[in-house]
Amino acid sequence: MCLVFICDEEERVLGTQTAPGSCPYCGGMVQAMDVESAWRFCFLPLCFKTKRKFYCSMCSRRLVVYQ
């Protein structure tokens, strides 16, 4: 008996907005993106998570916020 497990992660952008501060690499403006990720197992959604990711609008680097 052969079982095939198909797992997939799908990300969808919910919205973008300007964040305060500037990029430490190039000095560009920082964009905040709200991203919803869905884990799927055999095309059935298992969980949905909403994350906020920060990117530079000039150099397109992903920025990490330490609090």
Per-residue pLDDT tens for 34-55? 999 887 777 677 778 899 999 9
**Taking residues 2-9, what's their average pLDDT?**
59
The whole domain housing 20 covers 7-61
**Per-residue pLDDT band at 2 (split at 50, 70, 90):** very low
Instruction: Provide DSSP, 17-51.
Output: EEEEEE-TTT--EEEEEEEEEEEEETTEEEEEEEE
pLDDT in tens, 14-39: 999 999 999 999 999 999 999 998 87
Cα→Cα distances 47→8, 10, 30, 61, 62, Å: 11, 11, 29, 27, 24
Residue with tokens 């919910």: 14
Specify the number of domains making up the chain. Answer: 1
pTM: predicted TM-score of the whole model, two decimal places: 0.71
On whether residue 13 sits in a domain, the answer given is yes
2 found inside a domain:
no
> 66: Cβ–Cβ under 8 A, 6 or more apart, which residues?
none
